[in-house]
């Protein structure tokens, strides 16, 4: 039984060393907070917007290496005369040592009433979805 445990331990160590040698890394990067606002400073947190407002998604990260990528995908989830879950736009940012990021989306023609959402990704992995409405 002890021989089997030793073999398993050695195999795990070999796999870990191989992963690190191949450029694998362990990161504790995470999105600590994300919310919507109708002002670029993020002072007015909201989930309800007027048709003429710009949508701001404020994203706070912790322990993110400089090459961490954040992406916001803006979606019209349930809006009249728009295909359900229509992707309006998306934008990416590389963290480069910063910890607070602002994504924004505006429409000079005004937003139709309905339900929207923004999907927030960290390094191509969906982290959270923020839902909101235009009244």
Average pLDDT of the chain is: 89
Range of the domain at 82: 28-134
Residues 116 and 74 sit within 8 Å (Cβ to Cβ): yes
- DSSP, collapsed to helix, strand or coil, labels residue 101 as strand
Question: From the centroid of its chain, how far is CA 8?
Answer: 37
Domain count, the chain: 1
Percent of the chain beyond pLDDT 90?
78
Question: 89-97 long-range contacts, Cβ below 8 Å, gap at least 24?
Answer: 93/69, 94/66, 94/67, 94/68, 94/69, 94/70, 95/61, 95/64, 95/65, 95/66, 95/67, 95/68, 95/69, 95/70, 96/66, 97/66
Residue 5 lies in a domain: no
Query: How would residue 122 be classed by pLDDT, with cut points 50, 70 and 90?
Result: very high
Model confidence pLDDT, tens digit, residues 2-35: 666 666 666 555 565 444 454 545 568 999 999 9
Residue 122 lies in a domain: yes
Q: What pLDDT is stored for residue 17 in this prediction?
A: 46
Residues 6+ away with beta carbon under 8 Å from 113: 51, 79, 80, 133, 134, 135
CATH of the domain at 55: 2.60.40.10
Model confidence pLDDT, tens digit, residues 79-104: 999 999 999 999 999 999 899 999 99
């Amino acid at each position: 039984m002890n021989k089997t445990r030793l073999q398993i331990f050695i195999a795990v160590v070999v796999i870990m060393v191989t992963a690190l040698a191949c450029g694998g890394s362990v990161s504790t990067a995470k999105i600590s907070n994300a919310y919507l606002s109708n002002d670029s400073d993020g002072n007015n947190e909201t989930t309800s917007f007027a048709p003429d407002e710009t949508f701001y998604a404020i994203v706070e990260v912790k322990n993110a290496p400089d090459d961490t990528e954040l992406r916001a995908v803006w979606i019209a989830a349930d809006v009249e005369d728009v295909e359900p879950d229509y992707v309006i736009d998306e934008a990416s940012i590389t963290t480069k040592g910063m910890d607070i990021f602002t994504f924004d989306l505006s429409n000079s023609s005004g937003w139709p009433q309905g339900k929207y959402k923004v999907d927030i990704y960290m390094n191509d992995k969906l982290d959270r979805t923020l839902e909101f409405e235009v009244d």
